[in-house]
Amino acid sequence: MKKHFIIACLILCLAIQQSSAQSKLPQLLIRLDDIGMNHSVNMAMQQFAKTGIPFSASVQFATPWYQEAVAILKQNPQVSVGVHLTLTSEWRYYRWGPVTGRTAVPSLVDKVGYFPQSTDAFAQSGYKIEEVEKELSAQIERAIASGLKISYIDPHMGIALSTPKLRALTEKLARKYHLGISPLSKAAYFHETYMEMWGEPVATKQSAFLNYVSTKLSKTRPNLVVIHVAQQGPEMDALFDMNSSMMNTKAGKPLTSLHRQTELNMLLSPQFKAMVGKKFTPINYTQLLAGKDIGTLKALNDQ
């Protein structure tokens, strides 16, 4: 009996030591953006979800494939869900418009009833802030009605945080619906550092990411890395980005598919998986926001 007691104590001590060591590791917040945009993006998210690693998924509830995303996310409770507040539709032939309908928010749509195709087009559209509030509220309410637990909101292409008035509106909506805000760039709400892989060239994307998460994470603040994934194939290969020339060759060949498959590959790589629990502790926004007061939500100063 005494021998068994000693063994049990040793096992408990080892478990405590391991837990203590892991608690000292940097916290890594992986956020996958544009979920629900299409089937290829959803399937890529599902691939990463099968690893069991906690992460956050920002869903575009105004896009055609959001219902498939909802079904996948209901099977993966380790994934924290956010509403990717959407006011643009950036692809040449693949478009979407407001949840509220074009007649309810006429200042938010172009002549064929879709959201503008670039951040510049949105800024110059003469949008009305009250119509922005109506549309973004509808997107959040659609998300809540889906049955998913929604933890946060964040801005697709940065728009919902891009001006003082839009930022104030986004903060108002977060307080109204009791949600956190995942940041754009350095305007953090919960002391997150910020890194995104979108603009990294395909050739160096994986090495840059692995180097960042293995050597450059803060030990005192949560580390947010924003990632865009998709399975490369005909659906993604056809998407010409109207907002960024970087995502197309000079000859007009779309590159988004290759970029997003590369970002998926780096998350599924043996090198990344080997770092989990050794170089960092993966967390999601539900975990980060636990116990936080979001009733007076304001962006912290740029870091």
**This prediction's pTM:** 0.90
Tally the C-alpha atoms within 13 A of residue 178's C-alpha that lie toward its C-beta: 5
Orientation of helix 129-145 relative to helix 164-177, angle to 10°? 30
CA–CA dist 38, 65 (Å, integer): 5
Tens-level pLDDT at each residue, the chain (303 residues): 555 444 444 444 344 344 444 469 999 999 999 999 999 999 999 999 999 999 999 999 999 999 999 999 999 999 999 999 999 999 999 999 999 999 999 999 999 999 999 999 999 999 999 999 999 999 999 999 999 999 999 999 999 999 999 999 999 999 999 999 998 877 789 999 999 999 999 999 999 999 999 999 999 999 999 999 999 999 999 999 999 989 999 999 999 999 999 999 999 999 999 999 999 999 999 999 998 877 667 776 544
Residue with tokens 């056809």: 238
Q: Which CATH architecture has domain 28-289?
A: Alpha-Beta Barrel (3.20)
CA–CA dist 212, 223 (Å, integer): 10
Of 264, 262, 258, the closest CA to residue 237 belongs to 258
| pLDDT recorded at residue 42 | 98
| pLDDT recorded at residue 23 | 61
